[in-house]
Amino acid sequence: MGGKILRLGVLISGRGTNLQSIIDHCEQKKIPAEVVVVISDKKVAYGLERAKKHGIEALFIDPKAFPGKESFEKAMGDELEKRNVDLICLAGFMRILSPYFVNRFRGRIINIHPALLPSFPGLHGQGQAVNHGVKISGCTVHFVDEGVDSGPIIIQAAVPVFDDDDEDTLAARILKCEHKIYPMAIKLIAEGRIKVEGRKVIIKDAAKKEWAVFNPPLEID
């Protein structure tokens, strides 16, 4: 995927704050990518309005209009392929993709999760972290496979968990990091710096001209 402007398709279900971060980074030329379509399974998702404000095609595809999950996903996949999407970014898309969809776009779907995987997969990762009493949580960008938040990890960022945190306060702290590392992961893929070896994602170090495990500097606001 390196050496060109990566065409992104973003799947959402809600307000789309990660979508906004991706759009902003694309428009500011910080990453060699562009969002060409945003698809939501919810008609009133505010992320669709965000897309429209930036002149990006925004589609609502109603799951209830199809006889089953695979036919719904086929319709989504067809729309993505019509627009020659290179990379599919899940940004608050609240549906587990079937093996059919994952296999159709194998290695071309990424997701962001508000926990340090493999800990606390699934819903309410922030609440799970608070209830478990961990001292560090964070977020993870990973490739999507057939499992739930189980694909190879591209990049992670850590944030502290304070004694007086609840799910909302921790989620707000994690979200700031999500907005930083999701565009960073897309940039690495767009630049052709990603290499997957089994479960491990290796990232090419541009300075050393060799493959190396990438550890981003953390900035905690």
Residue 76 phi/psi, 5-degree rounding, is: -60, -45
Query: Can you give the residue range of the structural domain that contains 147?
Result: 113-221
Q: Are residues 33 and 96 in the same domain?
A: yes
Summarize pLDDT for 19-74 with one digit per residue, the tens.
999 999 999 999 999 999 999 999 999 999 999 999 999 999 999 999 999 999 99
Catalytic residue among 25, 54, 113, 179: 113
Instruction: Write down which residue in 106, 134, 162 finishes a domain.
Output: 106
Q: Are residues 42 and 66 in the same domain?
A: yes
| Mean pLDDT value across residues 164-184 | 95
Answer for the pair 100, 73: CB distance below 8 angstroms, yes or no: yes
Q: Are residues 118 and 102 in the same domain?
A: no
**0.95 surpassed by pTM:** no
| CATH number for position 149 | 3.40.50.170
DSSP 18-70: HHHHHHHHHHTTSSSEEEEEEEESSTT-HHHHHHHHTT-EEEE--GGGSSSHH
Two tokens, residue 63: 């799951």
Q: Within 13 Å and on the Cβ side, how many CA atoms surround 194?
A: 26
Please check the confidence at residue 218 and state whether its pLDDT lies above 60.
Answer: no
Please check the confidence at residue 3 and state whether its pLDDT lies above 70.
Answer: no
Q: Name the average pLDDT for the chain.
A: 91
Summarize pLDDT for 121-157 with one digit per residue, the tens.
988 999 999 999 999 999 999 999 998 889 999 999 9
Q: Are residues 121 and 216 in the same domain?
A: yes
| Mean pLDDT value across residues 78-104 | 96
Answer for the pair 136, 93: CB distance below 8 angstroms, yes or no: no
Summarize pLDDT for 4-23 with one digit per residue, the tens.
899 999 999 999 999 999 99
Round to whole Å and give the CA distance between 108 and 145.
10
* Crossing angle of the two packed helices 125-132 and 167-190, in degrees rounded to 10: 130
Q: By percentage, how much of the chain surpasses pLDDT 70? A: 91
Instruction: Write down which residue in 90, 106, 122 finishes a domain.
Output: 106
Higher pLDDT, 36 or 208: 36
- What's the pLDDT band for 204 if we cut at 50, 70, 90? confident
Round to whole Å and give the CA distance between 190 and 6.
6
**Is-catalytic flag, 142?**
no
Which run of H or E residues covers position 136?
strand 136-143
- The pLDDT value recorded for residue 118 is 94
Long-range contacts of 173-176 (CB under 8 A, 24+ apart): 173/220, 173/221, 174/114, 174/115, 174/126, 174/137, 174/138, 174/139, 175/17, 175/114, 176/221
Two tokens, residue 132: 């478990």
